[in-house]
Structure 1
Amino acid sequence: MVREVIVSFLELLTLVSSIALGLLVFLFILKFVFGIKTRLYDGIVHFLQDNYLVLGFIVSLTAMLGSLFYSDVMGYDPCRLCWYQRIFMYPQAFLFLISMKVKNKAIVVNSLVLSVIGGLIALYHYMMQVGVVPEGGCDVVGYSASCSDYFSVSYGFITIPMMAFIAFLILIFLGYGKVRER
């Protein structure tokens, strides 16, 4: 029962995050492509810039704990691409936490680099799962699962790699907003 609630929460969180990202992209296009300024966009951007470290920590920690939940509690063996995504996500939780304590501004560049690379891996992984790209370079190694395996699909598109992609995308948008602040 508790497992299902946590899975549903993570899937719903991904759905809501996807919708929020879509709204942010729409407002971004209105402002920078069509020159239409909105107070909503400016308010959101200022909020994200002011709370960059806390939001980055929450996103990266949630992604890290979510992936550990799926592997250690649900028993889903991570594939090779899942491990690569973890390599680029897990350190960010610690980097954001440390940066909150020491007020380190270098986290923006570090997070952007880690998130772009991790996001590209997650996008490739998702495209492999849905059959857009062939399943190459991700053979089963040892006890790990195949990269094209579906452990769960929700709302017609949310898989574990999509959850990772959305988390990386949020961190990229947060970092981009913080860089533009300078």
Structure 2
Amino acid sequence: MSISTERQEEGGWSTLFLAWAIALAATLGALFIGEIMGQAPCILCWYQRAFMFPLALVLAVAVIQADRNVWRYALPLSGAGLLVAGYHVLLYYGFIPEAIVPCGKGPSCSDAKMTIFNVVPLPVLSLFAFSAISILLLIGRRETVR
């Protein structure tokens, strides 16, 4: 195996590992906020969890198996979560009218307790996590297509 091939494989594994680490951190963060801090998630947060939690497992298996084709089944999960998170951020900042707000019932993400360090709202963190994972999977895809 040539040095450039080894570096490509190492680069593919490191992007995959980083994507998994982000998914794991997001999953553990959501569990901590919900179970330890006692903050109940809103409806849209539940949808985002429905995409992030399996993504953490899928990427963990892919890291262990060094599956460089994981983008085929992880990118749809990440993309769907990205869409929900993007919609949630638009709702959070008021770009979408109140009449079509699905998280009007139950807990609200606009509460001050739903921010990290009283600055970054949880929907924005979710958007960043899904964006980063999607970008890393696309980078990994590009490396496998070569």
Query: After TM superposition, is the score higher than 0.5?
Result: yes
For structure 1, which runs of at least 5 residues remain unmatched after alignment? 1-44
For structure 2, which runs of at least 5 residues remain unmatched after alignment? 1-7
**From 100, 118, 130, the counterpart of 1:168:** 130
Aligned-residue sequence identity (percent) comes to 33
**From 101, 104, 120, the counterpart of 1:158:** 120
Classify 1:94/1:162 alpha carbon distance in 2 versus 1 (closer, same or farther; 3 Å).
Answer: same
The Cα shift of 1:138 comes to 2.5
Alignment size in residue pairs: 135
2:102 aligned residue: 137
Classify 1:162/1:58 alpha carbon distance in 2 versus 1 (closer, same or farther; 3 Å).
Answer: same
The Cα shift of 1:156 comes to 8.1
Classify 1:47/1:126 alpha carbon distance in 2 versus 1 (closer, same or farther; 3 Å).
Answer: farther
CA RMSD of aligned residues (A): 2.4
The Cα shift of 1:120 comes to 1.2
Classify 1:78/1:55 alpha carbon distance in 2 versus 1 (closer, same or farther; 3 Å).
Answer: same
The amino acid across from 1:138 in the alignment is C
For residues 15-30 of structure 1, the aligned pairs below 5 Å read: none
1:103 aligned residue: 66
Distance 2:22 2:67 in 1: 18
Contact 1:128 1:148 in 2 (8 A): no
Q: Look up the SS of the partner of 1:106 in the other structure.
A: coil
Structure of higher RCO (CA pairs closer than 8 Å, 6+ residues apart): 2
1:78 and 2:41 aligned? yes
The Cα shift of 1:79 comes to 0.4
1:92 aligned residue: 55
1:29 aligned residue: none
TM-score (norm 2): 0.80
1:180 and 2:142 aligned? yes
Distance 1:155 1:63 in 2: 16
Q: Which runs of 4+ in 1 moved over 6 A?
A: none
TM-score (norm 1): 0.65
